[in-house]
Amino acid sequence: MPLYAVLTGLILGGVIMAIAKYNPFAAYAALFSGAFGSPTAIGNTLAGAVPLILAGLGIAVAFRTGLFNIGAEGQYWVGAMAAVWVGYHFPTMPWIVHVPLALGAAMLAGGIWGGVIPGLAKAFVGAHEVITTMMMSYIAILIAHFMVENGPMMAPGYVPQSPTVAASATLPPILPTVFLNSNLSDAFFIAVAAIVVVHIVLFHTTLGYKLRAVGFNARAARYAGMNVPLYTVLALGVSGVLAGLAGGVQLLGVDFQLTDTFQSGYGYTAIVVALLARNNPIGIFFASVFFAALSAGSQIMQINAGVSANMTDVITGIIIFFVATDRLYGYWSQKMRPHRPSSTAAIISGKGESPQ
Amino acid sequence: MNFWVQIFANPELYAATLAMATPIALAAVGGTFSERTGVVNIAMEGIMLVGAFFGVMVAAATHSAWLGMFGGVIAGGLMALALAWPAIRLQSDQVIVGMALNVFAGGLTAFLLNTVYGYNGTPTSTPSLPIVTLPWISHIPFIGQVIGQHDVVVYLMFLFVILAHFTLFHTNLGLRMRAVGEHPEAAETVGISVVKIRYLGVTIGGMLSGLAGVYLSLGMLSSFEVNMTNGRGFIALAAMIFGKWTPFGAFGAALLFGFATALSIALQGSGVSANLVGILPYALTIIALTGLIGRSRPPAADGLPYVATK
């Protein structure tokens, strides 16, 4: 089904391009070569998938527990801030301590941002996590702006940016001679490890079973004696931990300093990743590579085929739409049937047509 | 101390509050219509963008800001139908469809801006909506400076807030809408068409969000810029919840958000961090949601797909 949504998205995207008098085949060819056309391009696509994998895993854990963490973007930024702060404060620390410490700080920050306030608010007073995580996300981004715009994390000088992290806190590139000048770093291995861990925890441990039970039917889980508030906080916390880690590895592996543009978009694309992958950790790998490829290829598409890079957002929107409307097929096949009995309600309201 | 008095005694702060609150209030009231009938609408952001873009497109083509406004409102309504149909007919997850529309609208408007107008953006000859000066009120000191002279949409917003309140709470149609949002089965039993009412609620919501978008592109400016809504649709969502799904509540919440924005603009270059001031509305929303300012409870059937029992 997700494959069908992807295909529909690509085809309808092609139709829109054709209507706008572009050649969709040339556009997609440029897109593909931009994403996979050279070792550097492949390296950048895989590097772009890393934060999507991590944040996407986090969103999937929340979804599996029946919670919608829409604030991964903010959790990403608090993770990024924490990692950078640790990264430039202890320049003499050995690598083996410094990197785990910085990433640990990122995970802790993300976990607090997602788990403590939205988690507790959801668990104890029922505040909807869609709103609380979104509000926390805006707050995180404003704090990040504050930090580098004459705030405590601003580097000396007039440019709104943080100091660069120490060399001892950076994630080294993978095979720099093969993936020439690409952004691919050891963060990729962290992302793959996270997939394995989340998969095992979700599907092969009691904890994972309980999280999924709460997501499947919170009331039944409560009657079965499960501590639903605890698992709610835990799921949103883990969700934040993973999104925070995404920010951490991105800053230690690719960006190395906070600059004034707080729009990674990873936190939002990660939602799409989780949806497309049906919250399956292994599916998340492929969905992340797919969206990273769309994003990496869109620039080349704009340069070589003249199609605005925003076209990929149109395609992404269509794909999510068709993931959500998976009943479409059943709907049309039902429409084909000649005689449908009308519902009583429809007869009462004087309409021959029954609502679904 | 003197500094703060100067900031808060300036009527321009409150006039700016009203101007900033207008798009949020319009979209939040629109969302209220949608959710009162039981369809969760997180697509306000995308609908506003579409309204803003097509408003400019029509205005530029016809050289009439009024026709542009009309076009933007219709575009908003049509976009809302793309939420209504899967939500009502296909029992799709409304939040996910809303997400899809936001991404789609952001991409589509940016793509069209680039494709139709190229790198120079929308034509500079695009007309903008007129600014209205209220005859008597504008001469009253202070109050006149706050409410006496605004873009026409600001006054339309007042009109729609009152109209929305009246419709939802003092008409038959409003009663039906609320019944469908609270208990669709019961509503259907007494002969109300859940499907029709929900389509109506979502479409009205879309048109109001479209108008909010038009205000941004043809009211505040006379051009369209990529992602010019800048999260206002999501703030409207928060305002709707903060306002407990009532038009007056949504308006009040929108004023609060507008005030925070106006204040952070007024504080620019003053040494007080506008970023920290900007946190205020978001923090207040969380506080409101956690029940410290009284619980806000959504319509009981909000977000639940309705399947008629046969």
Q: What is the ipTM of this complex?
A: 0.85
Give the count of domains, chain A.
1
Q: Mutate which of A1, A142, A269 to disrupt the B interface (most B C-beta within 10 Å)? A: A142
Chain A, nearest residue to B308 by Cα: A355
Interchain pair A320, B195: CB under 8 A: no
CA dihedral B239, B245, B247, B250 (to 10 degrees): -10
pLDDT at A330: 60
Within-domain flag for A349: no
B93, B193, B237 ranked by CB distance to A324: nearest: B93
Interchain pair A121, B290: CB under 8 A: yes
Within-domain flag for A338: no
What whole-number distance in Å separates Cα of residue B264 and Cα of residue B275? 7
pLDDT at B79: 95
Average pLDDT over residues A7-28: 91
Nearest chain B Cα distance for residue A344, angstroms: 6
Interchain pair A345, B308: CB under 8 A: yes
Is A10 in the B-facing interface, judged by CB distances under 8 Å? Answer: no
Is A260 in the B-facing interface, judged by CB distances under 8 Å? Answer: no
CB–CB of B239/B257 below 8 Å? yes
Query: What length does chain A have?
Result: 356
Within-domain flag for A351: no
Quick check: B284 pLDDT over 80? Answer: no
User: Residues with Cβ < 8 Å from A206, sequence gap 6 or more?
Assistant: none
B103, B283, B291 ranked by CB distance to A320: nearest: B103
Interchain pair B107, A331: CB under 8 A: no
Interchain pair A314, B107: CB under 8 A: yes
Tell me what percent of chain B is helix, strand and coil, each rounded to the nearest 5: 70, 0, 25
Q: At what angle do helices A39-64 and A281-305 cross, to 10 degrees?
A: 140
pLDDT at A343: 38
Q: Which residue type occupies B112?
A: L
Quick check: B8 pLDDT over 70? Answer: yes
Quick check: B202 pLDDT over 90? Answer: yes
What whole-number distance in Å separates Cα of residue B189 and Cα of residue B175? 15
Q: Which domain holds residue A54?
A: 2-327
Interchain pair A327, B42: CB under 8 A: no
Q: How far is CA A232 from CA A117, A199, A203, A211, B138, in A?
A: 12, 19, 18, 8, 54
Chain A residue numbers touching B282 (CB-CB < 8 A): 135-136, 138-139, 142
Chain A residue numbers touching B191 (CB-CB < 8 A): 345, 348-349
pLDDT at A335: 55
Within-domain flag for A355: no
pLDDT in tens, B96-114: 899 889 989 999 999 999 8
Chain A residue numbers touching B307 (CB-CB < 8 A): 355-356
Chain A residue numbers touching B192 (CB-CB < 8 A): 349
* HSE-CB of A351 using CA atoms within 13 angstroms: 15
pLDDT at B200: 95
| CATH number of the domain that residue A40 is part of | 1.10.3470
User: Residues with Cβ < 8 Å from B9, sequence gap 6 or more?
Assistant: none
Chain A, nearest residue to B105 by Cα: A314
Chain A residue numbers touching B195 (CB-CB < 8 A): 355
Q: Which is more confident, A218 or A210?
A: A210
User: Residues with Cβ < 8 Å from B136, sequence gap 6 or more?
Assistant: none
Q: At what angle do helices B194-214 and B11-36 cross, to 10 degrees?
A: 160
Quick check: A340 pLDDT over 90? Answer: no
pLDDT at B276: 84
For residue A93, what pLDDT band results from cuts at 50, 70 and 90? confident
Interchain pair B195, A355: CB under 8 A: yes
Interchain pair A127, B286: CB under 8 A: yes
Is A348 in the B-facing interface, judged by CB distances under 8 Å? Answer: yes
Chain B residue numbers touching A125 (CB-CB < 8 A): 289-291, 295
Lowest mean pLDDT, pick from A202-216, A227-241, B269-283: B269-283
Chain B residue numbers touching A320 (CB-CB < 8 A): 96, 99-100, 103-104
* The two three-digit tokens of residue B183, written as one number: 């208990």
Quick check: A344 pLDDT over 70? Answer: no
What whole-number distance in Å separates Cα of residue B235 and Cα of residue A175? 45
Chain B, nearest residue to A354 by Cα: B308
CB–CB of B29/B169 below 8 Å? no
Is A128 in the B-facing interface, judged by CB distances under 8 Å? Answer: yes
Within-domain flag for A353: no
What whole-number distance in Å separates Cα of residue A52 and Cα of residue A178? 23
Chain A, nearest residue to B242 by Cα: A131
pLDDT in tens, A287-320: 999 999 998 899 899 888 888 888 888 998 998 8
End-to-end Cα distance, chain B = 68
Average pLDDT over residues A331-347: 45
pLDDT at A244: 96
Average pLDDT score over chain B: 88
Is A261 in the B-facing interface, judged by CB distances under 8 Å? Answer: no
Which of B257, B295, B298, B260 is CA-nearest to residue B276?
B260
B99, B107, B306 ranked by CB distance to A311: nearest: B107
Average pLDDT over residues A189-202: 95
Q: Mutate which of A321, A326, A331, A348 to disrupt the B interface (most B C-beta within 10 Å)? A: A321
Burial state string for A257-269 with b = 16 or more CB within 10 A and e = fewer than 16: bbeeebebebbbb
Interchain pair B273, A351: CB under 8 A: no
Within-domain flag for A337: no
Nearest chain B Cα distance for residue A93, angstroms: 33
Quick check: A349 pLDDT over 50? Answer: no
B101, B194, B275 ranked by CB distance to A317: nearest: B101
Chain B, nearest residue to A320 by Cα: B100
pLDDT at B262: 87
Q: How far is CA B22 from CA A37, A53, A216, B15, B184, in A?
A: 48, 39, 41, 11, 32
Quick check: B296 pLDDT over 70? Answer: no
Within-domain flag for A345: no
| DSSP-based three-state secondary structure for A308 | coil
Within-domain flag for A354: no
CA B203 to chain CA centroid, nearest Å: 13
What whole-number distance in Å separates Cα of residue A340 and Cα of residue B80? 28
Quick check: A351 pLDDT over 80? Answer: no
Phi, psi of A95 (to 5 degrees): -50, -45
Interchain pair B285, A135: CB under 8 A: yes
Quick check: B293 pLDDT over 80? Answer: no
Quick check: A350 pLDDT over 60? Answer: no
Chain B residue numbers touching A145 (CB-CB < 8 A): 275
Chain A, nearest residue to B236 by Cα: A131
Q: Which residue type occupies A228?
A: V
pLDDT in tens, B206-245: 999 999 999 999 998 889 988 888 889 988 988 888 888 9
pLDDT at A339: 42
As a whole-number percent, the residues of chain A with pLDDT over 90 amount to 42
Chain A residue numbers touching B105 (CB-CB < 8 A): 317
DSSP state of B147: H
Nearest chain B Cα distance for residue A189, angstroms: 30
Strand partners, B253: none
Q: Residue ranges of the alpha helices (H) in chain A? A: 2-19, 24-36, 39-64, 72-89, 95-111, 120-125, 129-148, 187-204, 206-216, 218-223, 228-250, 266-276, 281-305, 311-324, 328-336, 344-348
What whole-number distance in Å separates Cα of residue A301 and Cα of residue A30? 5
Chain A, nearest residue to B119 by Cα: A308
Average pLDDT score over chain A: 86
Average pLDDT over residues A73-95: 92
End-to-end Cα distance, chain A = 22
B99, B278, B282 ranked by CB distance to A271: nearest: B99
Nearest chain A Cα distance for residue B17, angstroms: 20
Query: What length does chain B have?
Result: 310
For residue A90, what pLDDT band results from cuts at 50, 70 and 90? confident
